[in-house]
Amino acid sequence: MSEQPSKISNAFLTFRDEAPQHAQVWGEMVQKLGQASGLDDKTAALAYLAVLAVLRLESGIPFHVQAAKQQGASREEVISAILLGLPAAGHVVTQTLPAAIAAYDAS
């Protein structure tokens, strides 16, 4: 799998490179949680985008938008996922919308 640093946040790349054992354990845990999920891959990817938006974790948006797109998510589904938290979290979710749209349209 070819790495595209522009889609992976600098923070995560630093974590991976400077704390490889921690990153490996983290990756294994994430993989196991994914296997335990009752959600299909596309739904899980969209739900994850909603969580990132509510938490304002914009740096993770490009990577996870591409993951959702690879699972078959449409542009409209990605936008809807970003805006899903609007009633509960307020307009803060819109802060990640430009990054999500740009990431979706980039490929």
Per-residue pLDDT of the chain (107 residues; tens, 9 = 90+): 444 445 888 899 999 999 999 999 999 999 999 899 999 999 999 999 999 999 999 999 999 999 999 999 999 999 999 999 999 999 999 999 999 999 999 97
HSE toward the beta carbon, residue 18, CA cutoff 13 A: 6
Q: What is the span of the domain harbouring residue 20?
A: 8-37
Residue 4's pLDDT is: 47
Per-residue model confidence (pLDDT) at position 6:
57
User: Is 45 in the same domain as 32?
Assistant: no
Domain count, the chain: 2
Residue 72 is assigned to a structural domain of this protein: yes
In order of 9, 13, 79, 94, the CA distances from 16 in angstroms are 11, 5, 29, 29
29 & 49 share domain: no
In a domain, 2, yes or no: no
Q: CATH number, domain at 83?
A: 1.20.1290.10
In-domain check, residue 1: no
Please indicate, yes or no, if residue 98 is contained in any of the structural domains: yes
Per-residue pLDDT at 66 = 96
Residue closest to 89 by CA, chosen among 55, 48, 58, 61: 55
Q: 13-27 in b/e burial notation, b at 16+ Cβ within 10 A?
A: eeebeeeeeebeeee
| Residues 29 and 44 placed together within one structural domain of the fold | no
Residues 54 and 106 in one domain: yes
